[in-house]
Chains A and B, each alone.
Chain A
């Protein structure tokens, strides 16, 4: 059994920032990530970020990853375990890991769970034809591995991921036939939507995939219109030929480790699924277990990073490490989160989080 002081699960934007903050306060940190390299989804984000300077706005995602990884490399009290998956979190606080097929156990004094989210699937006839991908998977193929997924794409979902991946597909020389959105409005930022519209890609709102077709592989998709109750309207079908469909209908938190740890959970639609109750310090109902990023509610990388710093600060402070300006730092991070959560989407996120708030110490009483 390896004794570990602070275990950070997940090396994406939230986990990296949590590790940096806690290590800078003096804590000994172990970061575990199932991928071969740290950085999470940042490494494939070729677009510039919004937000303010504090969240590295106007920098591209992969540059932000580099910046954070440089900091990690300079902190000698951070140990990195790559290509390592956390298998389970047990009642006695033991965490089991798998690395290259071998089994390890660690016992951390505290942990930050920053496991992120996974892509939601969509049920339609022939949805298992080769050529039907999650949009995030296509982004990984293109931007991380340099593999072109196909020649003509139909994108399902006009949120930010759908819009950004459509643009990046065009940059890679792939034709985007259309973007389909079930809702009455484009979910993503208008600046991204305008960009793809200017390049001639139609965006069909209140439309969905009725069925995919193809013999051995995907050959095309039948689309149809939806009414205000999201029901398909007969007679409105039309075909779009494509060899790739990207599904981008939202993300859902990867919260299984929190369930295993016994954290109190709740389904909050605006946050993507089942998410943990937490206090202002991002501590869950299990003492010593903190959360940050998409696993605590699906948002963007900018807020994931701020939450990471906050969770790192809280975890280090829980372990007995202090810095002189801790309260100032904490209120600044809370302010940053507040300003990132503006507009109608931010309102829904804030309302969702309000449902999950643990207010007093008594609620956070279960030992980790």
Chain B
């Protein structure tokens, strides 16, 4: 029944998927992210993180305040590589020091 409870809309993970991974020993947001891509889609964790942290809290017995939301890296929204390259060339700031 929980198979159609969606936690991660970006990578299509259900609540059961998340619970199974936690039971396998992935007990931090970053570990779950690396194994399942949760939090790496267009929403960048803005939809799923609170639900995942609550599941981690229940499974580990730690309050959410003791859990880490993982590392937040730029960019927070997709940007084309070509655009970054263009900016670097035209901006004249290719700097390898």
Contacts and interface: CB of A to CB of B under 8 A. Distances in A.
B74 A103 contact: no
Contacts of B71: 259
Contact of A98 (B7, B44, B79): B79
A128 B6 contact: yes
A123 B84 contact: no
Q: Could you tell me the dominant secondary structure of chain B's interface residues?
A: loop
B21 interface: no
Contacts of B15: 123
Contact of B76 (A86, A104, A120, A266): A86
B97 interface: no
Interface size class of A (residues with CB under 8 A): 35 or more
Nearest to B9: A128
Contacts of A256: 44, 72, 76
B41 interface: no
A173 interface: no
B32 interface: no
Nearest to B74: A88
Contact of A103 (B48, B65, B69, B87): B87
A31 B67 CA distance: 33
Contacts of A267: 64-65, 67
B30 to A, nearest CB: 13
B9 to A, nearest CB: 6
Nearest to A255: B72
B25 interface: no
A204 interface: no
28 contacts: A85-B76, A87-B74, A87-B75, A87-B76, A90-B74, A96-B74, A98-B77, A101-B79, A101-B83, A102-B87, A103-B84, A104-B87, A105-B91, A118-B47, A120-B50, A121-B48, A123-B5, A123-B6, A123-B51, A124-B5, A125-B1, A252-B49, A256-B76, A259-B69, A259-B72, A260-B73, A269-B65, A273-B50
